[in-house]
Amino acid sequence: MTAPEAGRGIGIGERVAEETTTFGFPRDTFRILHVSTGNVCRSPITERLTRHFVTERLGVLGGGLIVESAGTWGHEGAPMEANAETVLGEFGADASGFFGRELLDEHVIRADLVLTATRDHRAQVISMGHSAGLRTFTLKEFTRLVRAIDPATLPPLEDGVVTRARALVRAAAALRGWLLAPTAEADEVYDPYGAPLTFFRSIGDEIHQALDPVVTALTGVNTRA
C-alpha cells in the first residue's frame, strides 16, 4: 500500500472522525492530547512545543486546533519541572501557566488525536476504551506514519486545519499495520524526571525532531523550506 492509497477513504478510518461526534462535542475543533506519566516533563514539553510550532507556521494557534496534555499518573495541579521549563524557553516556547493533570476518561473522549510518550502510555489510553485505538499513537510512531503520507493527498489548509488534521489521522491509522518500527525502542521517548538539564535537552531535541514533520503535515507549512 502506498501513502496516497492510505489517504483515500478507508472506511474504518472514517469512523474515527464520526465517533468523536457521538459525545456531543463540537465538530469544528480538533483536540490533540499529549500523554506521559506525571504530566510534568515530557507531555508538557510536547504540548507547549506543539503550540509554539503551529503558531510559528500559522501566526496563531487557532482555527479550531486545541493542544493539551495529561499524565497516566498525573501530578494534579503540579507545576512543570524546572528543567522542562528551561528547555521550552530555549526553544522560544511559552511555559507559563502550566499545571499538571491526571488523565481522565473525559480527556480521551474529547481527543481527536492522542500522542503518547511510550507504548505503555498508548496501551493505557487504549485500555480506557472510548474507541481510542484508531486515534492513539506514540509520538514517534505517528511521526513515522506521517512521513509516509503524501501531503498532496491531504485537504488544503484553505479547507481548515481541522479538516486537514482529521484526514491526517485517518491516513496514519490506515498505514499503521504497514509501517512497523525498526525496534521497540524506536517509538519511545524516555522519562527525564530527576535527570540533569543535559538529559532534558536531549529529550527536548527528540521531541522537536518528532514534532516537526507532524506540525508541517498539520499546517501544510514547512519552516525549513
Q: How confident is the model at residue 46 (pLDDT cuts 50, 70, 90)?
A: very high
Q: How confident is the model at residue 9 (pLDDT cuts 50, 70, 90)?
A: very low
**3-state secondary structure (DSSP) of residue 33:** strand
- For residues 101 and 196, what is the distance between their CA atoms, to the nearest angstrom? 24
Average pLDDT over residues 1-7: 35
Beta strands in the chain (DSSP E): 30-36, 65-71, 113-116, 136-138
- For residues 137 and 115, what is the distance between their CA atoms, to the nearest angstrom? 5
pTM of the model: 0.87
Q: Is the pLDDT of residue 17 over 70?
A: no
Q: Is 87 exposed, middle or buried (0-12, 13-18, 19+ CB in 10 A)?
A: buried
- For residues 131 and 186, what is the distance between their CA atoms, to the nearest angstrom? 25
Q: Is the pLDDT of residue 20 over 80?
A: no
- For residues 225 and 222, what is the distance between their CA atoms, to the nearest angstrom? 5
Q: Which amino acid is at 127?
A: S
Q: Is the pLDDT of residue 18 over 80?
A: no
Q: State the cell numbers at 99.
A: 499545571
Select the more confidently predicted residue: 170 or 185. Answer: 170
Q: State the cell numbers at 10.
A: 478507508
Select the more confidently predicted residue: 90 or 129. Answer: 90
Average pLDDT over residues 4-11: 31
Instruction: For strands 113-116 and 136-138, give the pairing.
Output: parallel
Q: How confident is the model at residue 187 (pLDDT cuts 50, 70, 90)?
A: very high
Q: Torsion over CA of 108, 66, 166 and 163, rounded to 10 degrees?
A: 150
Q: Torsion over CA of 45, 166, 59 and 53, rounded to 10 degrees?
A: 30
Q: Torsion over CA of 11, 13, 16 and 17, rounded to 10 degrees?
A: -80
| Whole-number average pLDDT of the chain | 87
